[in-house]
Structure formats: C-alpha cells, structure tokens
C-alpha cells in the first residue's frame, strides 16, 4: 500500500510534518511517499490568473501525487484558526483540475499544535469539507500539547493514549488494502 503523507505547512521544522510521517510509519507494510509543500511553488490563485496562465505544473504534480497513492495522511498546521496559506493556495489550484482533490482515497486527517487545542479549528474545517473534496475520511485525530507528547529526538509519540489513538487511525488505512 502506497501512503502519501504530508504536513500542510512549509516550515522546515513543522510538527505537522513530523506527526504525518510518524503516523504513516505506523501503517503496516506501507510504502511511504513523503510530500513537501515547499516543492510546489505557485502564484496566488485567482480566476483571472488561471485564465491567463492555465493550470500550473506544480498543481498538476500535486494532484498526480494524490492520484498515485492508495491512501493519504495529511496533518494540518493551524494559522490563525485556519489552513496555512501555502496549503490553501495549492489546494485551490488543485481543485481547478477536479473538485475531488483527494480522488476518493482513504484518508486520515491529523492536526497538531503546541497548545492544548491541537489545531482543532482547522481539523474541524477539514473534516467538514472532506466528502465535498473527495476524501474518504477514515479517521481524524488532533494532538494538543505536541511537545509534551512527542519526543523530538526519537521522532516518536510518548503518551500512551495519544499513541493508541494514532495507531488505531493508521490501522484503519491498513484495513483498506484488505477490503
């Protein structure tokens, strides 16, 4: 099973990138494809610009990477209660290719923050629109107080309850391959 995973952030030290990769590694037998938003440089989306330049190659490459995966794991960074600007812009461009950006792939949505909310606002927004954008949402997990439950040196979740929740989410994706 090929699992595409990424943190919806351009930060080189993104906790959401770390979380997404950790959960992908929990999927039994997964071939992990790590996507980095920094590889998808795009102008700010507008319909006028789309008419002028068409669909940029970066948006088409992003859409193709999702299409080539068997499952997708995304961990959303929360910027002022919403998606990061880089993710939202890439997503807006990709949605012009096909509104079903996630292409009906089994998907796990995650979010993390250093504070107690665990980026719950952005995760709620993503969950609310998942079906509209073709995500076959299998699980959604928010991880608050990230630095209290994640060992940066080992790259592992240390809190047993959080680990159990993330492991359960990863196993739901593994069951998709059997089905």
Q: Which two tokens stand for residue 11?
A: 């930060």
- How far apart are the C-alpha atoms of 24 and 144, rounded to whole Å? 19
Domains in the chain: boundaries:
2-178
Alpha-carbon distances, residue 38 vs 41, 56, 89 (angstroms):
7, 15, 12
pTM passes above 0.85: yes
What's the burial of 17, exposed, middle or buried (CB within 10 Å: 0-12/13-18/19+)? buried
Position 174 scores a pLDDT of: 81
Helix or strand run (H / E) with residue 33 = strand 31-34
Q: Which two tokens stand for residue 164?
A: 């159990």
Alpha-carbon distances, residue 30 vs 4, 39, 89, 103 (angstroms):
10, 23, 29, 19
Position 177 scores a pLDDT of: 57
Position 178 scores a pLDDT of: 45
CATH architecture of 2-178: 3-Layer(aba) Sandwich (3.40)
Position 172 scores a pLDDT of: 92
Conformation bin of residue 73: beta by default, left when phi > 0, alpha when psi is -120 to 50: beta
Can you give the pLDDT of all 179 residues of the chain as single tens digits? 999 999 999 999 999 999 999 999 999 999 999 999 999 999 999 999 999 999 999 999 999 999 999 999 999 999 999 999 999 999 999 999 999 999 999 999 999 999 999 999 999 999 999 999 999 999 999 999 999 999 999 999 999 999 999 999 999 988 765 44
Alpha-carbon distances, residue 83 vs 38, 60, 173 (angstroms):
15, 20, 24
């Amino acid at each position: 099973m090929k699992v595409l995973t990424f943190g919806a952030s351009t930060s080189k030290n993104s906790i959401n990138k770390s979380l997404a990769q950790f959960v992908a590694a929990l999927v039994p037998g997964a071939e992990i494809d790590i996507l980095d938003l920094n590889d998808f440089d795009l102008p700010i989306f507008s319909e006028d610009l789309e008419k002028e330049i068409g669909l940029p190659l970066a948006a088409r490459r992003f859409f193709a990477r999702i299409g080539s995966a068997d499952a997708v794991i995304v961990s959303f960074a929360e910027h002022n209660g919403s998606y990061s600007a880089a993710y939202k812009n890439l997503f807006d461009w990709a949605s012009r290719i096909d509104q079903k950006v996630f292409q009906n792939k089994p998907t796990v949505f995650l979010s993390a923050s250093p504070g107690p909310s665990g980026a719950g606002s952005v995760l709620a927004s993503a969950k609310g629109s998942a079906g509209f954008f073709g995500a076959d949402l299998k699980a959604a997990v928010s991880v608050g107080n990230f630095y209290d439950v994640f060992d940066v040196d080992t790259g592992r979740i240390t809190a047993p309850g959080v680990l159990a929740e993330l492991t359960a989410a990863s196993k739901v994706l593994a069951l998709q391959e059997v089905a």
